Amino acid sequence: MQTFAELYIDGGWVEPVGSGTIDVVNASTEEVMGSIPEGSAEDVNRAVAAAKAAFDGWSITSPKERAGYVQAIAEGLAARQQEIAETITGEVGMPIFLSQLIQAGLPQAIAGSYVGIADSFEWEEQIGNSLVVKEPIGVVGAITPWNYPLHQIVAKVAPALVAGCTIVLKPSEVAPLNAFILAEIIDSAGLPAGVFNLVSGTGPVVGEAIASHPDVDMVSFTGSTRAGQRVGELGAQTIKRVALELGGKSANILLPGLEGAELEKAARAAVGSAFLNSGQTCTAFTRLLVPRAKEQEILDIVKDEVETTYTIGDPAAGAGRLGPLISDVQRDRVRDFIRTGESEGATLVTGGADAPDDLPTGYYVKPTVFAGVTQDMTIAQEEIFGPVLSVLAYDDVDEAVAIANDTRYGLSGGVWGADAEEAKDVARRVRTGQLEINGGAFNPLAPFGGFKQSGNGRELGPYGLEEFLQTKSMQL
């Protein structure tokens, strides 16, 4: 049991105003694995006041000094990597070998990247008789999700600190224990009091108090589109900057020129692109667009890949590639989507809504593939956030692009082609924030964010730093 009874405010651990607590449930065992304080609006007020008071001193420190603290945080994350991986495997259900690489390893890399970025970033430039300077925006409210909990926190906290901002963090109450580990690391790093503050609690209470607070200058939110709309509404009341990283329904286009081994490689990779973290990934390529003439060939490969490689099992033991979903609510929601797919006429290729026979405990869902999916079906339009892949056939490339763009989302996507230049040309036509060409690897230094209702603003790399800065011109 990991029990945290206090919040981290103004450089120390403090008692919350209220006495409520929130249990954290292990996704595999359905047992309580820890608890956190249920913070209140009054706790947010205390945290924002501390952040506001700390801003003047912190904002005038040098980027090099600020980067030094972020380096210390990166080193602290590395020292506790195994503990972090095990904690998030319990909270979220990602298999332990993947948690070590992604849930624990990626935050270290992100934090470390901002040390170099701080050194190379152009903090000021001369334009004619004007000195143009980049300054921190102020107090930042960071509201983060549960699927990649520590990664999403560090992707906001590290650049905000390097920018010279102070922070009030509200982690997801579903997977919050890792945020308390981060607060311990930050405390050990000796960050000045009030620069970083942690208030745990629910979205309707703590999240809304942060988003609507008049002394919060910016809110950076990652989560569902519906919740993002609410954050945007509240932020607009005080004209604060609002950065939103929201949902996705990303398309993966296999172009007609693929043949033989190239086609098989693309089809097998498509499964991994859809099912990472049991499909609980905002960038998951959950729509696979295939040439109609090759649909059955691709379906045979996909079915084999799912049934032989993407097995489900106990994530703590590394027993499969897929662990459980985050909660009973999410498990039931995904199963309902599967039933809807069947009722609307899609063809079930593998998987289904029934519980796995050999896993009676835990929030498991069978990896599921549908064929015969059309654009008007619910499973082709809604973000399911589970291991469900919809295969849609197209007759020509223009139709493939039209299908890819026929959604309110625009976060990610992929294009596979025998000709890399053709694949890039098609990718340019897809209205989404990032695309993988022939399985190009994720780049933590490249800008990350969405088009349309997938949000606004960018995270990661220099673009992620820019989000937390204001631009000032001084005429000389």
- CA distances from residue 421 to 417, 427, 433 in whole angstroms, order as listed: 9, 10, 19
Torsion 337-343-349-355 (CA) sign:
positive
- CA distances from residue 212 to 171, 218, 237, 238, 457 in whole angstroms, order as listed: 17, 10, 7, 7, 19
Q: In 10 A of CB 143, how many CB atoms?
A: 25
- Give the strands of the sheet with 436-437, arranged side by side: 347-350, 368-371, 388-394, 287-291, 251-254, 413-416, 436-437
Active-site residue (options: 38, 91, 208, 282) = 282
Tokens encoding 145: 């999700």
Do 369 and 351 touch, CB atoms closer than 8 A? yes
- CA distances from residue 314 to 166, 320, 324, 354 in whole angstroms, order as listed: 39, 7, 8, 18
- Give the strands of the sheet with 2-3, arranged side by side: 2-3, 32-37, 21-25
Q: 3-class SS at 19? A: coil
d(CA 170, CA 168): 7
Of 325, 347, 329, the C-alpha closest to 338 is 347
Buried b (16+ CB within 10 A) or exposed e, 54-90: bbeebbeeebeebbebbbbbbebbbebbeebbbbbbb
Number of helices (H) and strands (E) in the chain: give both, helices first: 16, 21
**Residue 201 half-sphere exposure, CB side, CA atoms within 13 Å?**
28
User: Taking the CA atoms of the chain, what radius of gyration do you get in angstroms?
Assistant: 23
Q: Which amino acid is at 56?
A: D
Active-site residue (options: 91, 208, 245, 383) = 245
Q: Is 282 a catalytic residue?
A: yes
Active site residues: 245, 282
